[in-house]
Chain A
Amino acid sequence: MDVILFLIFAIIAVVCAINVVVQTHPISSAISLVGVMGSLAVLYLLLGAEFIAAAQVIVYAGAVMVLFVFVIMLLNAGAEVRKGRSLMVQLLGVPLLIVFLGLTAYFVRRLFPGDVTVHFGGFTGGTAQAIGRALFTTYLLPFEITSILILIAIVGAIVLARKELD
């Protein structure tokens, strides 16, 4: 059951991620990305991270990506124009990516041999209560700093998007 769920959503995630990269139109990419995020949320649930799963949907899919879609709609951005090029990317891009993937695969195999497995309900520490507790005790300072960061981001976004900049 768990394996099937994992496979389904992992495949959805990968397919959507590929779609993000290959689609020429940004809005298709955006919708695909929402798909990735949604399937990741399911995987989070599988890993016992129910709060993060909900937060993933609310924050990422519900707010960040809506913002993306909103901006795409606002700019009415069309499909990508293939103009300009970078020799660097063309020469090194693909080989480097393959090397990178190979290295990560090596590390994952090396560090996490198959004896550790995941099954639903194997970890129940991800409740909203547990996260809230950690957030307001151990991680209080990062939390406060993050809130300041968000405040700065709000101010920055407003300043940047003001009409006077025209």
Chain B
Amino acid sequence: MSAIPISWFLALSAVLFALGVAGFLFRRNIVTVFMSIELMLNAVNLSFITFSYYFKKVDGHLFAFFVMVVAAAEAAVGLAIILTVFKNRATLNIDEVDSMKN
């Protein structure tokens, strides 16, 4: 018993993704919400790597790589936005940032 069913990896990925969604839905701090997004991306990456193993192809790794790069870019811009929002509104509560309403 030294082999893991591939579905375990995918199940883990699904669980992590769901936890990321839960964080996105139930957390109010912008930074935490942002981190939930990163968690979801990581879960998807795990799926990519698993599929790469499944198909014995390197392409999944490339997708994961691009996801990482895009996540890094996203983090840079997103955190800059968070900084600006905090400067202007002195709050990090996502429910209070709703000036697009009305």
Contacts and interface: CB of A to CB of B under 8 A. Distances in A.
Given A80-B32, A117-B6, A161-B84, A105 B14 contact: yes
11 contacts: A30-B31, A40-B45, A52-B45, A59-B69, A71-B83, A83-B28, A83-B95, A104-B18, A142-B66, A149-B70, A160-B83
A134 B26 contact: no
Interface of A: 1-3, 6, 10, 13-14, 17-18, 20-21, 26, 29-30, 33, 36-37, 40, 43-44, 46-49, 51-52, 55-56, 59-60, 63-65, 67-68, 71-72, 74-75, 77, 80-86, 89, 93, 97, 100-101, 104-105, 108-109, 112-114, 116-119, 122-123, 125-126, 130-131, 134-135, 138-139, 142, 146, 149-150, 152-154, 156-158, 160-161, 165-166
A82 B28 contact: yes
A30 B35 contact: yes
Contact of A21 (B27, B28, B82, B84): B27
Q: How large is the interface on B (under 10, 10 to 19, 20 to 34, 35 or more residues)?
A: 35 or more
Please classify the interface of chain A as helix (H, G, I), strand (E, B), loop, or mixed, using the class held by over half of its residues: helix
B interface secondary structure, majority: helix
B4 A52 contact: no
A18 B27 contact: no
B3 to A, nearest CB: 4
Contact of B31 (A68, A108, A135): A68
A52 B61 contact: yes
A138 B6 CA distance: 27
Contacts of B81: 160
